[in-house]
Amino acid sequence: MFNLLKTAVLMAAITALFMLIGGYVGGRQGMVVALLIALGLNFFSYWFSDKLVLKMYNAREVDETSAPQFHRMIAELVQRAGLPMPRVYVIDEAAPNAFATGRNPEHAAVAATTGIMQVLSANELRAVMAHELTHVAHRDILISTISATMAGAISMLANFAMFFGGRDSEGRPANPIVSLLVMLLAPLAASLIQMAISRAREFEADRGGAEITGDPQALASALQKIQRFAQGIPLEATERHPATAQMMILNPLSGGGLRGLFSTHPSTEERVERLMAMAAHMPR
């Protein structure tokens, strides 16, 4: 519930930031233009993201004949979660990772690397895929697309400010120093909010996945293993297409410290801590 509320507050914050910057730079007309451009840029990604990312990773679709154990695992999890059966894919990569994609539960796909299947136990892999199915159930692709659209619109408005400057309430040119600050700080603030939304959704997917399996400890163990084994094993498709890194259960390109503010995922340590706390209160 806390992460759902946090997501709502952050979405409201990025919307308010968009309206504030839009009103400063170009008034209502400027806001509409920037929003329409950002919507157009993100619409294609939202509608066709599943096909694009699966092709980027050379994912091969499997069924109960070609990958019986893995396919049965997904079928059992979706039954427990009350979801339609997604398309199931395997990626021939040594780096352990997994992701979900698709615009809604009726058009979803889940994928896992061969590396993650080798590294994790059956219970750990089950917990990871339950996490990914929670993303599907919560329509997180839609939420991330909306936040990306708003952040993109804010960046465009900041660019407008660079070329045209801002206007005060009477239509006169605004202070150039203020315009410069808007140009520099508005995209930064939008990115921080967008990344915070993504981290909140990851926490929520951890919680939902643990509830589906009834085993938070298995997901905690899986996250620790993925982090440990992924070091030094590049996920080649992610390095070629870094924008897709945010889809993974563990972002292979994220860092700690101040970089964590711009990370799409919370730290593994914090995720594990929350899952272990959840396990302590969950009846066996």
Q: Enumerate the active-site residues.
A: 132
- Give CA–CA dist 190/171, Å, rounded: 25
Helix (H, G, I), strand (E, B) or coil at 62: strand
- Give CA–CA dist 281/214, Å, rounded: 11
CB atoms inside a 10 Å sphere around CB 259: 10
Side-chain-facing half-sphere of 204: CA atoms under 13 Å: 22
Q: What DSSP assignment string belongs to 189-239?
A: HHHHHHHHHHHHHHHHHHHHHHHHHT-HHHHHHHHHHHHHHHTT---HHHH
Closest CA to 265 of 186, 205, 187: 205
Give the dihedral sign, CA 254/262/267/115. Answer: negative
Contacts of 207 (CB under 8 A, 6+ apart): 3, 134, 274, 278
- Rg of the Cα trace of the chain? 21
Q: Which residues of 176-196 are buried (b: 16+ CB within 10 A; e: fewer)?
A: eeebeebbeebbebbbbbbbb
> What are the strands of the beta sheet with 60-62, ordered from one edge?
60-62, 87-91, 108-113, 98-102
- Give CA–CA dist 117/145, Å, rounded: 29
